[in-house]
Amino acid sequence: MLAVVKPIAFALFVWWFSTGLIIWLDGLPRKTFKWSMIGATVVLGVSLYGLRASASMTSPAGAYYAFTCGLLAWGWQEISFYMGYVTGTRKEACPEGCGGFKHFIHAIQTSLWHELSIIFFSLLVVGLTWGQPNQVGVWTFMVLWWMHQSAKLNVFLGVRNLNEEFLPAHLDFLKSFLTKKPMNLLFPISITVSTLILGDMITRTMHAVPASFDATAWIFIATLMFFAILEHWFLVLPIPAAALWAWGLHKKKGVSPFTVDVVAGFLGAGKTTTMSRLLAEANPQERTLVLANDFSNMGIDASLLAGRGADVVELANGCICCSLQKDLAKQLLEIANLHQPNRVLIEPSGVADVAALIAALRKPELAPLVKSLRVVTLLDAAAFLGDFARMPNYFEAQAKVSPVVIVNKIDLVQQGSLEMIRHTLMSLHPGVQIVFANFGFPTNGKTLTSLLTDLPGFIAQKDEGKDDKDAMHTWKARESSSQGVGLKQGSKVRRSEQEVALGFESWSASLQGICDTERLRLLLESLVAGQYGQLERVKGIVRAGEGWVRFDLAGGRPSITAHSAEDGEAPRVMAIGKNVDQQGLLSAFMNCGSPGAYQHG
């Protein structure tokens, strides 16, 4: 009897303890993941060696040895996935409303590399023990793989108990691929097939000589299959099975209320520079999170803000109100859970984004976490007249969306122009506070942080923020009736529609080679002259000489400055405007330095 009980008890303990240990390690701070992964990789190497060494052993001890090594080899697959090292090509939630085969493909993308890794290691395990009598390690790995695949498909198709509490915060996006319902059609098939396999294993165990290698081996494999079936039943029965591994769960720290500061404004007004100033002034004792939002898919703004003492989350490829779509509040909550900020800085790309943010931050699940929402709007003093002549309604919306307007780059205009800007803004929004600034520095002697501190937060009041909603509605309604705009009044602004509403298109490219700064200067001057279209904004970073430079074109003014590149930085450029000659721009930047391949974005 002991020869039967011992391997069952051993398999039960190793399965239960190793699962709980992985859950515990995944719940530790992310800075520990590197060390956990290194340790797991060492264990993987030892287990693979052990599988090879035990492959010729045909004693009960050899069965114990191979079973343990097979289970430890599988443990690496779980740790590498749940710690985010070997996952897939998709690292974001499935868009709301997505379903059917497309939803299934998105689910596959979240763990593609993980599944390929399992296939690779299963072949490796088979290869290490090929032709040898002890196949316990191989069967252990294969049963765990079966358990993994079947359970994964079942939670995708729908089960009662999803056990979402076991997902670490950085994998919260996987919850969008889990379906909660009593049962799905695959479940009875999974249970039936697994039970038939278990029955065959039990039969083989009963026909083996007691206490022999064969008997011990089949007890291990049958026990593991039994646990697989039991885990499947845990998915649909009203049983708190998660309590088995409650000791491995860390008590999740709730998100403390945080302040949200929004820096809005038109293209080229100096929002990214202002964000950099705010980061430089930030209290180092406070955890600051930056949501960087680029029109292009190149993430240049996120690169410029990185390395300044804050966590930077890049919201590339367009406006907040559409790139995060209907579940903006949910995704903001997930970001807050992951980063635990004291303060969040957001740079939206348009007035519609500000209204979408305010609406999302007022949702019941997020509103209690927002201590205060403070919004400032930036305008380019030198480009004010030209921009206002083309888009008066957009400027009216920008002026009304914030109680403070920072008029930046005042060194480029005369005093008379500043008075004209002041009077214009006051007529659009009586009572608005107007602050003049240079390079993001207010000229009234205040810091940006103190300016924000003096602003009233308006997240808690139901009626406050009405102006920003009205402003967005007015802008959309009026712009939709203007020439060349195809928006209907009240229609939801998506990224492409927002660009159309402003008459813009965007272009981007990845660059290679060393750029000549003189050629770059001449190229920027040709862009100002309109040689490649009516460009509102061009920005990028590129290698030059022995270092890097950042180039910028805003308000018809080009600039080139030295840039300190982060590790892994990639040279790139983006442009926004009307009638953009994309092929011409690509050729122009190709001729800006030594020959190299350029990838059009």
Per-residue pLDDT reduced to its tens digit, 524-574: 999 989 899 888 888 888 888 778 888 888 777 888 888 777 777 788 888
Q: What average pLDDT score do residues 124-142 get?
A: 95
pLDDT at 471: 43
pLDDT at 534: 86
Q: Per the confidence metrics, is the pTM higher than 0.75?
A: no
Is the same domain home to 294 and 430?
yes
> Can you give the CATH number for the domain in which 440 is found?
3.40.50.300
Is the same domain home to 365 and 386?
yes
The verdict on residue 489 lying in a domain is no
Is the same domain home to 291 and 360?
yes
Residue 594: pLDDT band with limits 50, 70, 90: low
Q: How far apart are CA 570 and CA 560, in angstroms?
A: 17
pLDDT at 28 over 80: yes
Its domain, for residue 595, covers 504-600
Is the same domain home to 303 and 232?
no
The full 3-state SS of 80-96, as one line of letters, equals HHHCCCCCCCCCCCCCC
Given a contact cutoff of 8 angstroms between Cβ atoms, the answer to whether 483 and 391 are in contact is no
Range with lowest mean pLDDT among 29-38, 128-137, 363-372, 409-418? 363-372
Residue 480: pLDDT band with limits 50, 70, 90: very low
pLDDT at 322: 43
The better pLDDT of the pair 40, 553 is held by 40
Is the same domain home to 514 and 461?
no
Range with lowest mean pLDDT among 92-96, 183-187, 240-244, 547-551? 240-244
Q: Which residues pair with 293 in a beta bridge?
A: 315
pLDDT at 500: 46
Q: At 476, list the tokens.
A: 């959309």
The verdict on residue 445 lying in a domain is yes
Structural domain total, the chain = 3
Q: What average pLDDT score do residues 29-50 get?
A: 92
Pairing of strands 258-265, 572-578: unpaired
Is the same domain home to 65 and 92?
yes
Contacts of 245 (CB under 8 A, 6+ apart): 16, 19, 20, 23, 166
The better pLDDT of the pair 223, 299 is held by 223
Q: What average pLDDT score do residues 213-219 get?
A: 93
Q: What average pLDDT score do residues 300-326 get?
A: 48
The verdict on residue 497 lying in a domain is no
Per-residue pLDDT reduced to its tens digit, 154-210: 999 999 888 877 887 778 788 888 888 989 999 999 999 999 999 999 999 999 998
Is the same domain home to 284 and 361?
yes
Residue 442: pLDDT band with limits 50, 70, 90: confident
> Can you give the CATH number for the domain in which 521 is found?
3.30.1220.10
pLDDT at 93 over 90: no
Last residue of a domain, one of 248, 276, 308: 248
The full 3-state SS of 257-325, as one line of letters, equals CEEEEEEEECCCCCHHHHHHHHHHHCCCCCCEEEEEECCCCCCHHHHHHCCCCCEEEEECCCCHHHHCH
The verdict on residue 495 lying in a domain is no
Residue 473: pLDDT band with limits 50, 70, 90: very low
pLDDT at 373 over 80: yes
Is the same domain home to 68 and 162?
yes
Is the same domain home to 274 and 401?
yes
Measured from the Cβ of residue 520, the count of other Cβ atoms closer than 10 Å reads 21
Rounded to 10 degrees, the C-alpha dihedral 556/561/564/569 comes to 40
Is the same domain home to 224 and 340?
no
Residue 357: pLDDT band with limits 50, 70, 90: confident
The better pLDDT of the pair 411, 50 is held by 50
Given a contact cutoff of 8 angstroms between Cβ atoms, the answer to whether 319 and 349 are in contact is yes
pLDDT at 312: 63
Is the same domain home to 452 and 519?
no
Task: Please report the sign of the dihedral spanned by the C-alpha atoms of residue 21, residue 164, residue 311, residue 547.
Answer: positive
The verdict on residue 483 lying in a domain is no
Question: What share of the chain has pLDDT > 70, as a percent?
Answer: 80
pLDDT at 13: 92
The verdict on residue 496 lying in a domain is no
Is the same domain home to 167 and 110?
yes
The verdict on residue 35 lying in a domain is yes
pLDDT at 487: 27
Last residue of a domain, one of 216, 248, 280: 248
Q: What average pLDDT score do residues 429-443 get?
A: 84
Last residue of a domain, one of 205, 222, 248: 248
The verdict on residue 565 lying in a domain is yes
Per-residue pLDDT reduced to its tens digit, 513-525: 888 888 888 999 9
